[in-house]
Structure 1
Amino acid sequence: MAGALGSQYLGGLYPCEMCMWQRWPHYAAILVALGSFVVRPARVPLVWLAALLIAISGAIGAFHAGVEYGWWEGLTRCATTMGGGAVTLDSIMNAPLIRCDVAPWSWLGISLAGWNAILSLGGALVIAILMSKSKRR
């Protein structure tokens, strides 16, 4: 989430609607993971749930990356990001239009959605492997 929020607020890369979809499971995973420290008896199921939520975000990221690369059509066309304050005609007309099918940034030919898919699915897999190994001990 630090990367996503940093790219938005420090880098000026406004999220599209599908980018926002990828954030919600991460927010939930953070809360669930923190809950695993508080509710000790439910620690193991909560960590598994956090891993599942991270994987869900990765799956949404994979879908979004496919839309950006033109492999399939998305569920939405575009979104806009408006700052706080009063909504006026000027604020609506001057809000940036963010398309879900155009990657605003990429590294090594992989978009932010693609990186989210790789890191989230990989991270969820690592958590699952570690949880499985700790269960055997």
Structure 2
Amino acid sequence: MRWHQRLVARHWTYLHRQGRPPIDPVLAALVEQTARDNPGWGCQRIQGELLGLGHRVGASAIRRILKRLISSQVPRMNAIIERWVRTCRRELLDCTLIWNQRHLCMRCGSISGSTTYTDRIRGSRMSGR
């Protein structure tokens, strides 16, 4: 049977393409530009606008182009979110790390905006120096 496979492989040498042909790169760039200029538009709205310009593109093709566009921006978005999380974590740790009861009373007073008895005494001692 191997000889038959070789015979058929030599005879049928055309390119075996599967699926639809790819979208023109100029048209894909137009879809990306339209999506960037109008971030609130969905695939069907972009499809309608392109149809008005004379370009016939399916909504699923636009969805694939936008998915590729968004996946190229993911590292940048991750960096922004990671920086935000680090900042929030640092600020929350500054506010919530409690060492002992005295520190707890001090933090509770600073969060609620009220002063405790020890804060008033220390404040008067500090002003007397």
Higher helix share: 2
Q: Which has the higher contact order (CA 8 A, sep 6+)?
A: 1
| TM tier, smaller | under 0.3
Q: Indicate the structure (1 or 2) with the bigger Cα radius of gyration.
A: 2
